[in-house]
Amino acid sequence: MSIDDAAAISEGSRLGGARSVGLVETQFLTFAEPPERMELECGSKLGPITLAYETYGRLTPERDNAVLILHALSGDAHAAGWHSADDKKPGWWDLYIGPGKAIDTTRYFVVCSNIIGGCKGSTGPSSIDPATGKPYGLSFPMVTVGDMVRAQRRLADRLGIERWLSMTGGSMGGFQVLEWAVRYPDRVASAIPVATSARLGAQAIAFDEVGRQAILTDPNWGGGDYYGGPAPTAGFALARMIAHITYLSDEQMHAKFGRRLQDRDRLAYDFRTEFQVESYLKYQGDAFVRRFDANSYLYLSKATDYFDLSERYGSLVQAFEKVEAEFLVVSISSDWLFPTAESKCIVQAAKANGVPTTFVELQSPYGHDAFFLPNEQLSAAIAGFLENVERRVRKAAAGGGRSP
Amino acid sequence: MSIDDAAAISEGSRLGGARSVGLVETQFLTFAEPPERMELECGSKLGPITLAYETYGRLTPERDNAVLILHALSGDAHAAGWHSADDKKPGWWDLYIGPGKAIDTTRYFVVCSNIIGGCKGSTGPSSIDPATGKPYGLSFPMVTVGDMVRAQRRLADRLGIERWLSMTGGSMGGFQVLEWAVRYPDRVASAIPVATSARLGAQAIAFDEVGRQAILTDPNWGGGDYYGGPAPTAGFALARMIAHITYLSDEQMHAKFGRRLQDRDRLAYDFRTEFQVESYLKYQGDAFVRRFDANSYLYLSKATDYFDLSERYGSLVQAFEKVEAEFLVVSISSDWLFPTAESKCIVQAAKANGVPTTFVELQSPYGHDAFFLPNEQLSAAIAGFLENVERRVRKAAAGGGRSP
């Protein structure tokens, strides 16, 4: 879920390069304007709702080449390209989206939708509540992964995309992929959940809760009503540090930091930062606090905790009963937050329903965050899968049928 | 390192039961009284130093049956028996220490020594600094595992134990076992490090640092000078919650809590405690804060971070060069904080030096904390090993030699 390490920019991906989508702009869709409002799964109503999104490539006249990118907890709509020539790095999945890349923007119309509850342009707790003229704060209703996807469906309607050729996302982005395929089976031709699960487990909920407690007990949090004053940066940075450890593998941390000291030759014997791994984590925490909203973090971490397809449908096999999409399920060998076993549960449930499913375990030492990093195996798997799906969908359309 | 779950009390272990050591009292040894003082590895001097300890069983006239118990970060000298008839539970390792138990107090003279830096009767940051008449707080010098063991050597001297028949401890207790065997080779006939490592890895340091940051950023911490005022309970509870997750396995958390809700049938859609695992963790955090000192936690977690036998001796193989003890190395299959691979490094280094070494991986789903729980495999391994060591030591003594 960290995008801070995803800065690897190949030469052709630079602004103006042959493999870059170039300058892009975030767009906004607003709907559910009062009195309409959208009813959320928690029972509350929310409106108006704005979704931030970006698009790359062109939609075919047949509208059959749209690929939806769904981001993880801390992501945003800016998945590829550059917002300006001054940007230090491109969008968070630029490694995989662009001309000639795994998700080839010369073939596909790529849409990346930000999620509600966040703080990156879509409506969330830091947005102004039109009823009060002030930020929602904790009066913002709880949103679920289902609500996020229902909002994205409105975006699909507006863009005229009746059926996505494919959609992909890692971590909480994978939750959205699964939710789409299960909730709107006729609108998803194929799905690529990456490093994810059909429900969050007890250990992950535990880590989330500790992170939330760090924010909730920060005196600056003030019941969520901190906008305009000092933010709960200490607790929020802690929450991010905890989460960040879970995104990396022990093996990688050992290789990257070991027990090396930071800016010193010998132990200091005090409580200042001594080891490189401490310094790195603090940097990650401090950087994140500057670019994200603590309340959004609370809401989105709750949304991940609530995610459980088995519970909603009785079992995961039953959840997949109406699925029409074919699947490419991707896990990461060193991911201990969403271990391969979780992906295999998805594969089994899909196969039990006759859903065509391919499974790939990426061999990577980089832990959960590996999908943000260059990975040939991931590139090849996505590119090949999309090509096959595209061929089958066009063939079926030519034959008048609807497949896969 | 958690002892909160170790309350399993078999019938015979109740006060008055045939397998209980019965009523016990903590004793205290004070040494290094000024002007003597003990020079610590960090270069500072500390004195006077008090060590809390308990003993069970009787020392033979030959003084050849002493077994030292070394506790983990949050432990204390009270390893077995009962302090009073009102106690709700016995000492933290009562499952393994007592008449007829793995560490049989009818055969062995068992000593459990508390560590310096702690808050359970031995000198630590919450102790009164005689120079000021106030608690040390952050003026307490940094202590290392080496310092803890050097203090325990003074206790051994006072008890007249020239050579321990054996010593055992889990987690940070295992650090002390290794430190003893390496630092005082002629005083350790055998050693049983459990669920431990010869050095703390980057991921464990990272978790420790996040826990420390939670305490250091609690406004009540006040530079460590909180005695007499409100303690940094919020940050300290957080630190414990983080650590507690690492003591359990994902498998066990899933089996124990899954995604079950606490005291409700349906999701609350708010930020109160909802899932059982959240409630359990908060309970653990709150309970720990009541029985432990936040500054001690800071010091002891630093001591674990500093522990690295390889670094001090050039390599782990070199560290074991002078070791005279024979080893029983115990790991836990589901322990991801001190995985089996770490124990195997110890075994390899010992064997490379011709140190007789037995290795046992406990098959347990309970994670790092499994050694606090009933485990037949652990009981049998310790009992068998001690019996063999005792036989060899007595045979060697009868033959005039010194072995193993």
User: For residue A126, what is the domain's CATH number?
Assistant: 3.40.50.1820
Q: Which residues of B touch A259 (CB under 8 A)?
A: 199-202, 205, 308, 311
On whether any CB of chain A is under 8 Å from the CB of B202, the answer is yes
Hey, is B193 helix, strand or coil? Answer: strand
On whether any CB of chain A is under 8 Å from the CB of B254, the answer is yes
CB contact burial B78-113 (16+ within 10 A = b; e otherwise)? bbbbbeeeeeeebbbbbbbbbbebbbbbebbbbbbb
Determine the Cα–Cα distance for residues A353 and B39; give it in Å rounded to an integer: 70
Catalytic residue check, B368: yes
Question: Taking residues A275-288, what's their average pLDDT?
Answer: 96
State pTM to two decimals: 0.94
Predicted confidence band of residue A401 (pLDDT cuts 50, 70, 90): low
pLDDT for A86-103, tens place per residue?
Answer: 999 999 999 999 999 999
Here the ipTM equals 0.93
Q: Is the pLDDT of residue A50 over 90?
A: yes
Q: Is residue B135 part of a domain?
A: yes
pLDDT for B351-382, tens place per residue?
Answer: 999 999 999 999 999 999 999 999 999 999 99
Question: Taking residues A94-117, what's their average pLDDT?
Answer: 98
Q: Is residue A274 part of a domain?
A: no
More confident call, B6 vs A114: A114
pLDDT for A154-188, tens place per residue?
Answer: 999 999 999 999 999 999 999 999 999 999 999 99
- Cβ–Cβ < 8 Å for B313, B353: no
Nearest Cα to A224, choosing from A292, A299, A287, A289? A299
More confident call, B263 vs B313: B313
Q: Is the pLDDT of residue A120 over 80?
A: yes
Predicted local confidence at residue B400, as pLDDT: 72
Range of the domain at A60: 11-200+308-398
Question: Taking residues B293-310, what's their average pLDDT?
Answer: 98
- Cβ–Cβ < 8 Å for A344, A327: no
Q: Is residue B245 part of a domain?
A: no
More confident call, B390 vs B9: B390
What percentage of chain A reaches a pLDDT higher than 70?
96
Q: Which of residues 42-81 of A touch B (CB under 8 A)?
A: 42-44
Q: Which residues of B touch A216 (CB under 8 A)?
A: 271
Q: Is residue A313 part of a domain?
A: yes
pLDDT for B217-260, tens place per residue?
Answer: 999 999 999 999 999 999 999 999 999 999 999 999 999 999 99
Predicted confidence band of residue B163 (pLDDT cuts 50, 70, 90): very high
Predicted confidence band of residue A9 (pLDDT cuts 50, 70, 90): low
Q: Is residue A261 part of a domain?
A: no
Q: Is the pLDDT of residue A3 over 50?
A: no
Determine the Cα–Cα distance for residues B188 and B178; give it in Å rounded to an integer: 10
Output the average pLDDT for chain B.
95
- Cβ–Cβ < 8 Å for B278, B262: yes
Within a 10 A sphere around the Cβ of A360, how many other Cβ atoms? Answer: 20
Q: Is the pLDDT of residue B49 over 80?
A: yes
The letter for the amino acid at A176 is Q
Q: Is the pLDDT of residue A271 over 90?
A: yes
Looking at B78, B122, B368, B369, which residue is catalytic? B368
Q: Is residue A312 part of a domain?
A: yes
Q: How many domains does chain A have?
A: 1
Q: Is residue A242 part of a domain?
A: no
On whether any CB of chain A is under 8 Å from the CB of B199, the answer is yes
- Return all residues near B133 (Cβ < 8 A) that are at least 6 apart: none
Predicted local confidence at residue A13, as pLDDT: 86
pLDDT for A184-227, tens place per residue?
Answer: 999 999 999 999 999 999 999 999 999 999 999 999 999 999 99
Q: Is the pLDDT of residue B1 over 50?
A: no
Q: Is residue A336 part of a domain?
A: yes
Output the average pLDDT for chain A.
95
Determine the Cα–Cα distance for residues B400 and A340; give it in Å rounded to an integer: 59
Determine the Cα–Cα distance for residues A375 and A339; give it in Å rounded to an integer: 18
Looking at A20, A126, A127, A171, which residue is catalytic? A171
A42 to chain B, closest Cα gap in Å? 6
Q: By CA distance, what is A338's nearest residue in B?
A: B250
Yes or no, beta carbons of A245 and B212 under 8 Å apart: no
Question: Taking residues A378-397, what's their average pLDDT?
Answer: 97
Q: Is the pLDDT of residue B314 over 50?
A: yes
